[in-house]
A and B are shown apart, each in its own frame.
Chain A
Amino acid sequence: GAVVSQHPSWVICKSGTSVKIECRSLDFQATTMFWYRQFPKQSLMLMATSNEGSKATYEQGVEKDKFLINHASLTLSTLTVTSAHPEDSSFYICSARGTGAVNSPLHFGNGTRLTVT
């Protein structure tokens, strides 16, 4: 089945630094990838929709200058948390849907646990 690889699986960084998270679709092409954030014991909240070759669409309340998204190819999207602060500590999960597949299931990456000290 479709596999989405996310890296790193966990990262600890100091306040003020930036962290990049990669999301790759391994055996299919994904024109659209989605980035979610999940705080402990809470649901997954959609942060942004990443479109290959164009600007990402951010959900209300998500700072686009803080969470930089790049979707340079059909198999790779990156999320960069800039100037990270302790409140950015969370579980970040990407997901992807194959090309030409309306309402096909979303495939999730393994997630990245970010801890900002």
Chain B
Amino acid sequence: GENVEQHPSTLSVQEGDSAVIKCTYSDSASNYFPWYKQELGKRPQLIIDIRSNVGEKKDQRIAVTLNKTAKHFSLHITETQPEDSAVYFCAATPGRGGADGLTFGKGTHLIIQP
């Protein structure tokens, strides 16, 4: 099955700086890679996703890049703000017919220092 590795486990950055979280996956059949933000005690919220036919996607301060050859994808957050503090999870799925669940990375606790 799929195995997703995520780094770092904790990331502390100054407000206004950029944050980068990296993930690797093992299953070359995986073709959908979402990123979720989870605040304490709440459900994961989808913040951005990318499919395997695209190399990069951007939505305001958030961007995701995908390198299929190397089987890794990254989340980039620019101009970080205090409300960006949360745990971020990457995930991957082969998505065969929509019937596959997501395999999540272990999460990154992002701390924005004021």
**Which residue numbers of A lie inside 8 Å of B, CB to CB?**
32, 34, 36, 42-46, 49, 51, 91, 93, 95, 97, 100-106, 108-111, 113
Contact = CB atoms under 8 A, between A and B. Distances in A.
Nearest to A98: B98
Given A103-B93, A110-B43, A42 B106 contact: yes
15 contacts: A36-B101, A42-B106, A42-B107, A43-B105, A43-B107, A44-B104, A45-B104, A46-B102, A51-B99, A101-B98, A105-B49, A106-B46, A109-B43, A110-B42, A111-B42
A102 B95 contact: yes
Contacts of A51: 99
B106 A108 contact: no
B4 to A, nearest CB: 9
A9 to B, nearest CB: 10
Contacts of A113: 41
Interface residues of B, number: 25
B77 to A, nearest CB: 19
Nearest to B90: A43
B1 to A, nearest CB: 8
Contacts of B101: 34, 36, 46, 49, 95, 106
Contacts of B97: 102
A108 B95 CA distance: 17
B99 A32 contact: yes
A101 to B, nearest CB: 6
Interface string B79-114: 000000000010001010111111111110000000
